[in-house]
């Protein structure tokens, strides 16, 4: 009889120990997930309005265990914002990620497929609803590829042409550009040998040969056609 009571107590102690162990393990796991769940997302390098827009998309990652957080998924979300040029994501244990961002330079704006877009130096068309651009930027017209425009920009800057004085760019199907400057002058470039034409324009500009000139037409090789403002 005494032996039966001892076995009974042993079973009772064992069940009680299992119960305490389970409760401890449950609490431990709960504390673990709470301690290492993502609570803070710091975003640096962009304006407050742009930051708020991105924070809405990143809310899906809140409360995920930081060790299980997939950085590729975070990058995929951020890559939707075409105005971003550089993205750096850092996990800070136990519950924070720091996101450092940099914006691309905006080179112009255009209208296509019924929507307004900015043109980024990073090679992206940026939907205007993603970005608030306060600086004065030129307008572009025509069905151009963004690389065509970036190539033109490169040539202009190599030759020290002040692109800030260009108000409008017109692109034509034969892959050439017209540039409208802030002083009302239009420069018509050929589809080939653009750099040679830019050098001709610069030489004329520095020699003050453009007084009352409305149009400089360099589309034909070895030929310069000038149109005066009063014509």
pLDDT score at 205: 79
Q: What is the pTM for the complete model shown?
A: 0.79
User: Do 3 and 78 have their domain in common?
Assistant: no
H or E stretch covering 142: none
With cut-offs at 50, 70 and 90, classify the pLDDT of residue 228.
confident
User: Do 142 and 221 have their domain in common?
Assistant: yes
Structure token pair of residue 213: 């000139």
User: Do 45 and 31 have their domain in common?
Assistant: no
Exposure of 185 in the CB half-sphere (CA atoms within 13 A) = 17
Residue 123 lies in a domain: no
Average pLDDT over residues 62-89: 90
Residue 119 lies in a domain: no
pLDDT score at 71: 86
Residue 115 lies in a domain: no
Q: For the domain that residue 55 is a member of, what is the CATH number? A: 3.10.20
Specify the number of domains making up the chain.
3
Domain residues for the domain of 174 are 138-228
- The pLDDT tens digits of the residues spanning 126-167 come to 999 888 777 789 999 999 999 999 999 999 999 999 999 999
Question: Does residue 192 surpass a pLDDT of 80?
Answer: yes
H or E stretch covering 178: strand 176-181
Q: For the domain that residue 160 is a member of, what is the CATH number? A: 3.40.50.11690
Q: How far apart are CA 150 and CA 102, in angstroms?
A: 20
Q: What is the mean pLDDT of the chain?
A: 85
Q: How far apart are CA 47 and CA 103, in angstroms?
A: 10
Question: Does residue 6 surpass a pLDDT of 60?
Answer: no
């Amino acid at each position: 009889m005494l032996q039966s009571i001892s076995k009974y107590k042993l079973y009772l102690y064992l069940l009680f120990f299992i119960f305490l162990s389970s409760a401890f393990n449950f609490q431990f796991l709960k504390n673990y997930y709470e301690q290492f769940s993502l609570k803070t997302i710091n975003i640096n390098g962009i304006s407050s309005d742009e930051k708020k827009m991105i924070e809405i998309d990143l809310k899906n990652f809140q409360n995920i265990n930081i060790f299980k957080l997939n950085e590729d998924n975070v990058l995929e979300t951020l890559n939707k914002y075409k105005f971003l040029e550089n993205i750096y994501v850092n996990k800070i244990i136990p519950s924070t990620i720091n996101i450092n961002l940099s914006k691309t330079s905006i080179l112009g704006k255009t209208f296509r497929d019924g929507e307004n877009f900015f043109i980024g130096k990073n090679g992206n068309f940026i939907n205007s609803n993603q970005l608030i651009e306060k600086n004065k930027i030129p307008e572009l017209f025509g069905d151009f590829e963004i690389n065509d425009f970036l190539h033109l920009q490169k040539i202009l800057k190599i030759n020290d042409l002040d692109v800030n004085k260009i108000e409008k760019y017109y692109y034509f199907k034969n892959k050439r550009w017209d540039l409208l400057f802030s002083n009302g002058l239009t420069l018509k470039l050929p589809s080939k040998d653009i750099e040679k034409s830019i050098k001709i324009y610069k030489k004329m500009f520095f020699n003050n040969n453009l007084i009352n000139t409305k149009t400089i037409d360099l589309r034909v090789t070895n030929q310069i056609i000038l149109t005066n403002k009063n014509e």
